[in-house]
Chains A and B, each alone.
Chain A
Amino acid sequence: MAVKTLKIDDIDVAIEAGATLLQAAQEAGVPIPKLCAMKGISSIGACRLCLVEVEGINKLLPACVTEVAEGMVVHTQTPKLQEYRRMTVELIFAEGNHVCSICVANGNCELQDVAIEVGMDHSRFTYRFPDRGVDLSHPSFGIDHNRCILCTRCVRVCDEVEGAHVWDVANRGAACYIVSGLNQPWGEVSACTSCGKCVDACPTGAIFRKGETTGEKQRDRDKFAFLSTAREKREWTR
Chain B
Amino acid sequence: MNLTELLDVAAAEKARQRPIKVHCCTSTGCRSANATAVMGNLQQAVENENLSDQVEVIGVGCMGFCGRGPLVQIDPQDDLYEEVTPEDAPSIIEALNGGSAKSIKGDAQHPFFARQMKIVRQHSGKVDPERIESYIALGGYQSLFKVLYEMEPVDVVGEIQQSGLRGRGGGGYPTGLKWATVAKMPGNQKYVICNGDEGDPGAFMDRSVLESDPHLVLEGMAIAGYAIGANHGYIYVRAEYPLAIKRLQKAIQQAKKYGLLGSQVFDSPFDFKVDIRIGAGAFVCGEETALIQSIEGGRGNPVPRPPYPAEKGLYGCPTLINNVETFANITSIIREGADWYASIGTENSKGTKVFALTGKIRNNGLIEVPMGITLREIVEDMGGGVPDGEVKAVQTGGPSGGCIPASMLDTPVDYDSLRAIGSMMGSGGMVVMDHTTSMVEIAQFYMEFCRGETCGKCVPCRTGTVQLYALLTKLLKRQATAADLEKLEALCLMVRDTSLCGLGQSAPNPVLSTLKYFRQEYDDLLVQPAYLNGTSSAAEAVTL
Contacts and interface: CB of A to CB of B under 8 A. Distances in A.
Nearest to A85: B498
A48 B467 contact: no
A47 B455 CA distance: 13
Given A92-B459, A172-B456, A173-B455, A48 B499 contact: yes
Contact of B452 (A126, A127, A173): A173
A59 B544 CA distance: 33
Contacts, number: 93
Interface residues of A, number: 36
A2 interface: no
Contact of B462 (A62, A80, A176): A176
Interface string A53-88: 000000110100100000000000000100110011
Interface string B492-503: 001001111000
A48 B453 contact: no
A174 B500 contact: no
A27 B100 CA distance: 86
Nearest to B504: A48
B458 A126 contact: no
Given A84-B497, A125-B467, A91 B460 contact: yes
Contacts of A45: 303-304, 458, 500
B115 to A, nearest CB: 37
Given A87-B491, A173-B465, A174-B466, A46 B457 contact: yes
Interface string B444-469: 00000001111111111011111100
Given A48-B498, A84-B494, A87-B490, A172 B282 contact: yes
A172 B453 contact: yes
Contacts of B303: 44-45
Given A44-B304, A91-B464, A126-B544, A173 B490 contact: no
B101 interface: no
Contact of A126 (B284, B460, B497, B541): B541
Given A45-B304, A169-B456, A95 B299 contact: no
A170 to B, nearest CB: 9
A79 to B, nearest CB: 13
B463 A91 contact: yes
A165 to B, nearest CB: 12
A150 interface: yes
B470 interface: yes
B467 A91 contact: yes
B456 A176 contact: yes
Contacts of B246: none
A37 to B, nearest CB: 12
Contacts of A44: 303-304, 457
A128 interface: yes
A150 B460 contact: no
A171 interface: yes
A144 interface: no
A88 B490 CA distance: 12
A207 interface: no
Contacts of A60: 497-498
**What DSSP secondary structure best describes chain A's contact surface?**
loop
B204 to A, nearest CB: 23
Contacts of B470: 126
A150 B499 contact: no
A149 B456 CA distance: 11
A162 interface: no
Given A48-B500, A126-B467, A173 B451 contact: yes
Contacts of B487: 124-125
Contacts of A126: 467, 470, 541, 544
Contacts of B460: 48, 88, 91
Contacts of B490: 83, 87
Given A172-B453, A173-B452, A88 B467 contact: no
Contact of A150 (B282, B462, B464, B494): B462
A62 B304 contact: yes
Most chain A beta-carbon neighbours within 10 Å: one of B455, B470, B494, B544: B494
A168 interface: yes
A94 interface: yes
Nearest to B505: A59
Contacts of B464: 91
A51 interface: yes
Contact of B459 (A83, A88, A127, A169): A88
A114 to B, nearest CB: 11
A126 B500 CA distance: 23
A88 B466 contact: no
Contacts of B456: 150, 169, 171-176
Most chain A beta-carbon neighbours within 10 Å: one of B454, B460, B499: B460
Nearest to B451: A173
A84 to B, nearest CB: 5
Contacts of A128: 466
A141 B459 CA distance: 26
Contacts of B304: 44-45, 62, 65
Contacts of B463: 91-92, 94-95, 174
Most chain B beta-carbon neighbours within 10 Å: one of A47, A87, A88: A87
B199 to A, nearest CB: 13
15 contacts: A46-B457, A46-B500, A48-B459, A49-B459, A84-B498, A87-B491, A88-B498, A91-B467, A94-B463, A125-B487, A125-B491, A150-B456, A169-B299, A173-B453, A174-B451
- 8 closest A-B pairs (Cβ-Cβ)? A176-B456, A45-B304, A91-B463, A95-B463, A173-B454, A48-B498, A65-B304, A173-B456
Interface of A: 44-49, 51, 59-60, 62, 65, 80, 83-84, 87-88, 91-92, 94-95, 124-128, 149-150, 152, 168-169, 171-176
Given A48-B459, A60-B498, A172-B453, 8 more contacts: A44-B457, A45-B303, A83-B490, A91-B464, A126-B467, A126-B544, A128-B466, A150-B456
